[in-house]
C-alpha cells in the first residue's frame, strides 16, 4: 500500500466521519442512517446504548439512535493518525470521539463510499478513569505520622470488616478467569468488589480439571488484563500453570477473594436496591448485601448427565468430564467416553497415554480443526508473534476482533475453512474412514459462529484425532446408549462395550440453570436464554439476536449480570461490564437500549 493510497483512504474516511458527526450533532437521524449502504451494521459497546448491541440495517440503526443519541451528545470525532487504509473501493479507519460522560474509540468500514460496519466502544468515564501513570496512588504519606498503620495493617483491617461492617458494592460468584478479570477491572475503577469461589485456593477452578488439560488457544490470545504473560511463557498453557498464574494475579492485583465459599440463595430487594445473598463460608453461614450480583461461573450451568437406565447399578467408576482427573488408575482397563467434544478427545488421549483401552462414543457429528491449521490460517493473523512484530498488540487485536459484527463472520471465515479442508483433506479422509462423523457447521463456515452457539460440539485437534484415525482410540458412532450394564454400556444396535470407567463428556446445562437454582426459576425465565446468537441452528434456536444473549450487559433482572467466555472474551468484555457497574455506583445516567429483534441483514 503506497502513501498516496493511504492519504486517499484517510480523506475518504474523514469525509464520511465528518458527515456522520454533523448529522448526529444536529439530531438528524434520517441523514445519519442515509450514510449507510443497503447492507449495514452498527456494533455499539456502551457508547450510545449503555449495552452491547449490534443494529443490523437502517431501521435498527435509526432505533438505536432514537434511544441513545440525545443522552450521548457525541462530539470531537477524529481519525487515529495513520489508521486509514483502502483496498479497491473499500476503506477502513479507526477514530476517537467523546460523549458528555465518556471517551470512546471507533472503527468504520466503507464500501463504495457508504457505511458497511461501524463500531463504537467506550474507553473511560470522564472523571472516573482508572488511576495509572501520573494519577497513580502515592502508596505512602512521607513524613513522620504518630500511630501510622502500615500497608499490611490497613489491608488486614479492611479484610476484617469486609462482609460485616463493610459490604461489597459488587459480589462476583466464580473465581475463574471471568471472576478474576472483572474483579481486576473493578479494582482499577475503585469499585469495592468481592469474589467468592467454592474451591480452597484461587486458581483451583483450573487446577481441578483433568490432569492433561492445556489451553488450546495460543498465549497471545490468553493474557489477563494489565499483567501479560512474560515473553518466555509457553505457547499453550498447562492447566496447573494457569491456576498458579491466576493465584499470583489475584495476589498482585490485591483482589478480595473468599475461597471455600458457596452461594446458597439470592434475592433482590428492589426497595433497598440491593441483593441479599446467603453464603456458606468455611462451613459457616454468612449473608451479604451487595448492590450488584455477577454470576461468573462460565458460559454454562451445571454438568449435564444423561439419565441412562441402569446407571445406578454400574459396578465400575462413572463421572462427568468436569469431575474426571486422571487415567492413571485405569491402565489396562476398559474405558468408555460418551461424547466427542474437546473434553472427550482430551480425556480419551489421556486415558490412552495412561495405558487404558478406551472407546469414544460419538453421538452426533463434530467439527474438528487441527490446532496448527487453525493458528496458521486464522486467528493467527491477530494473535501471533507475527502480529506482535507488526505492532498489533493484544489490546489492538481484541479491538479488531470486536469491530466485526457476528453476522459478518461466516462470509469472512468460510474461505479460510475451505482452505483448511483442502489442505488437510488427507487428515479428514482418515477420520471418516475410521467412522468419525464430521461436520463444518450447519452453514459450512467452520468455527466462525460454532463456539458462540449453545451446545455445539467441536474439537481443536492437538493429537487425539490421529489416535482415533489409527484405531488406538476405539470409536463407535451412529449409535446411542440403550442402557448402562453392571460391567459396560449397551448400545441401541444390540452390541455392548465393556467398561471399568464411564466418562460422560456430555456438556452442561444452559447457564440460566444457575440463575434458577440460585435466585428462582421465575427470574431465570425473566432473564431468558443465555449465550448463543439465536442462529436458528441445532440447539441455538432463533430469533437472531446479533449478540451473545445476556452476556456482559444489562439483563432483564435489575442488578444481575453474567460474565463468561474464554480467556480472550473475559479479558476484553470485563472492561465493559466493569464500566457499567462503575457508572451505576457513581449515579451516572445509563439509559439502556433494549432492541427489538430485527431480521438479520442478508
Secondary structure of 566-579 in the HEC alphabet?
Answer: CHHHHHHHHHHHHH
Residue 443, SS3 per DSSP? coil
The grid cell for 171 is: 459480589
Q: For position 381, what pLDDT does the model report?
A: 77
313: its cell numbers: 447399578
pLDDT at 596: 65
d(CA 33, CA 45): 19
Instruction: Calculate helix-pair angle for 567-585, 394-402, nearest 10 degrees.
Output: 80
Compute the distance between CA of residue 115 and CA of residue 58 in angstroms, rounded to an integer.
Answer: 11
Q: Report H helices in 53-96.
A: 58-72
CA distance 52 to 579: 12
CA distance 260 to 156: 19
> What is the pLDDT at residue 600?
41
Q: Is the Cβ–Cβ distance between 491 and 482 less than 8 Å? A: yes
Q: Which of 210, 511, 239 is nearest to 345 (CA)?
A: 210
Of 292, 281, 297, nearest to 164 by C-alpha is 281
Structure confidence at residue 172 (pLDDT): 98
The answer, yes or no, to whether the previous bond of 202 is cis (omega within 30 of 0) is: no
* pLDDT single digits (tens) 350-394: 999 999 999 999 998 999 999 888 877 765 578 888 888 889 999
Strand (E) or helix (H) holding 247: helix 239-252
- What is the number of H-type helices and E-type strands within the chain? 17, 27
DSSP characters over 347-366: HHHHHHHTT-EEEEEE-S-B
- Bridge partners of 277? 266, 288
Q: Same CATH fold, 159-301+512-585 and 3-125?
A: no
CATH 3.40.630.30 holds for 303-508: no
Provide the grid cell at 286.
454468612
Q: What pLDDT score does 443 carry?
A: 78
The stretches in the chain having pLDDT less than 50 are: 1-5, 597-602
Domain 3-125 has CATH 3.10.450.50: yes
- Contact between residue 102 and residue 122 where contact means Cβ atoms under 8 Å apart: yes
Nearest 5°: the CA angle 198, 204, 208 is 100
Secondary structure percentages of the chain, helix, strand, coil, to 5: 35, 25, 40
Could you confirm whether domain 159-301+512-585 is CATH 3.40.50.850? no
Q: Which residues contact 406 (CB under 8 A, 6 or more apart)?
A: 54, 449, 452, 533, 546, 547
C-alpha to C-alpha distance for 577 and 25, rounded to whole angstroms? 28
**pLDDT score at 380:** 53
Domain coordinates in residue numbering, the chain: 3-125, 159-301+512-585, 303-508
The span from the CA of 23 to the CA of 34, in Å, is 10
**Is residue 53 a contact partner of residue 547, using CB atoms and an 8 Å limit?**
yes
Amino acid at each position: 500500500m503506497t502513501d498516496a493510497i493511504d492519504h486517499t483512504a484517510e480523506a475518504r474516511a474523514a469525509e464520511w466521519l465528518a458527515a456522520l458527526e454533523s448529522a448526529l450533532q444536529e439530531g438528524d437521524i434520517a441523514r445519519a442512517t442515509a450514510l449507510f449502504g443497503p447492507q449495514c451494521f452498527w456494533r455499539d459497546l456502551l457508547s450510545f446504548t449503555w449495552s452491547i448491541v449490534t443494529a443490523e440495517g437502517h431501521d435498527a440503526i435509526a432505533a438505536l439512535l432514537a434511544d441513545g443519541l440525545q443522552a450521548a451528545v457525541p462530539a470531537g470525532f477524529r481519525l487515529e493518525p495513520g489508521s486509514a487504509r483502502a483496498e479497491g473501493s473499500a476503506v477502513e479507519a479507526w477514530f476517537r470521539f467523546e460523549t458528555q460522560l465518556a471517551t470512546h474509540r471507533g472503527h468504520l468500514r466503507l464500501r463504495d463510499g457508504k457505511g458497511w460496519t461501524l463500531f463504537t466502544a467506550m474507553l473511560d468515564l470522564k472523571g472516573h478513569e482508572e488511576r495509572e501513570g501520573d494519577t497513580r496512588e502515592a502508596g505512602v504519606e512521607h513524613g513522620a505520622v504518630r500511630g501510622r498503620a502500615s500497608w499490611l495493617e490497613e489491608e488486614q483491617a479492611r479484610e476484617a470488616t469486609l462482609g460485616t461492617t463493610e459490604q461489597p458494592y459488587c459480589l462476583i460468584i466464580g473465581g475463574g478467569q471471568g471472576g478474576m478479570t472483572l474483579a481486576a477491572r473493578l479494582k482499577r475503577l475503585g469499585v469495592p468488589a468481592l469474589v467468592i469461589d467454592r474451591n480452597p485456593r484461587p486458581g483451583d477452578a483450573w487446577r481441578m480439571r483433568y490432569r492433561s488439560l492445556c489451553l488450546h488457544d495460543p498465549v497471545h490470545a490468553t493474557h489477563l488484563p494489565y499483567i501479560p504473560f512474560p515473553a518466555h511463557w509457553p505457547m499453550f498453557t498447562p492447566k496447573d500453570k494457569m491456576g498458579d498464574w491466576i493465584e499470583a494475579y489475584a495476589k498482585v492485583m490485591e483482589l478480595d477473594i473468599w475461597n471455600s465459599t458457596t452461594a446458597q440463595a439470592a434475592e433482590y430487594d428492589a426497595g433497598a436496591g440491593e441483593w441479599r445473598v446467603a453464603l456458606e463460608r468455611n462451613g459457616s453461614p454468612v449473608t451479604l448485601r451487595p448492590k450488584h450480583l455477577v454470576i461468573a461461573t462460565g458460559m454454562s450451568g451445571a454438568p449435564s448427565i444423561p439419565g441412562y437406565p441402569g446407571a445406578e447399578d454400574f459396578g465400575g467408576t462413572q463421572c462427568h468430564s468436569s469431575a474426571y482427573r486422571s487415567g492413571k488408575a485405569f491402565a489396562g482397563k476398559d474405558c468408555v467416553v460418551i461424547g466427542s467434544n474437546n473434553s472427550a478427545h482430551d480425556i480419551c488421549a489421556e486415558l490412552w497415554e495412561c495405558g487404558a483401552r478406551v472407546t469414544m462414543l460419538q453421538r452426533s457429528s463434530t467439527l474438528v480443526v487441527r490446532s496448527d491449521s487453525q493458528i496458521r490460517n486464522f486467528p493467527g493473523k491477530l494473535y501471533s508473534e507475527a502480529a506482535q512484530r507488526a505492532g498489533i498488540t493484544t489490546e489492538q487485536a481484541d479491538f479488531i476482533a470486536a469491530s466485526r459484527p457476528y453476522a459478518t463472520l461466516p462470509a469472512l471465515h468460510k474461505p479460510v475453512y475451505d482452505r483448511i479442508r483442502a489442505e488437510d483433506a488427507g487428515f479428514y479422509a482418515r477420520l471418516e474412514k475410521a467412522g468419525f462423523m464430521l461436520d463444518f457447521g450447519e452453514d459450512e463456515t467452520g468455527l466462525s459462529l460454532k463456539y458462540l452457539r449453545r451446545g455445539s460440539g467441536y474439537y481443536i485437534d492437538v493429537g487425539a484425532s490421529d489416535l482415533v484415525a489409527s484405531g488406538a482410540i476405539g470409536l463407535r458412532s451412529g449409535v446411542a446408549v440403550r442402557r448402562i450394564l453392571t460391567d459396560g454400556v449397551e448400545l441401541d444396535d444390540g452390541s455392548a462395550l465393556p467398561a471399568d470407567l464411564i466418562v460422560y463428556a456430555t456438556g452442561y446445562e444452559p447457564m440460566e440453570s444457575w440463575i434458577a437454582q440460585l435466585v428462582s426459576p421465575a427470574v431465570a425465565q425473566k432473564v431468558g436464554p443465555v449465550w448463543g446468537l439465536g442462529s436458528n441452528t441445532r440447539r441455538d434456536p432463533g430469533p437472531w439476536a446479533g449478540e451473545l444473549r445476556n452476556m456482559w450487559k444489562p439483563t432483564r433482572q435489575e442488578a444481575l449480570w453474567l460474565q463468561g467466555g474464554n480467556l480472550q472474551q473475559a479479558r476484553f468484555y470485563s472492561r465493559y461490564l466493569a464500566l457499567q457497574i462503575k457508572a451505576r455506583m457513581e449515579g451516572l445516567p445509563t439509559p439502556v437500549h433494549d432492541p427489538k429483534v430485527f431480521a438479520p441483514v442478508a
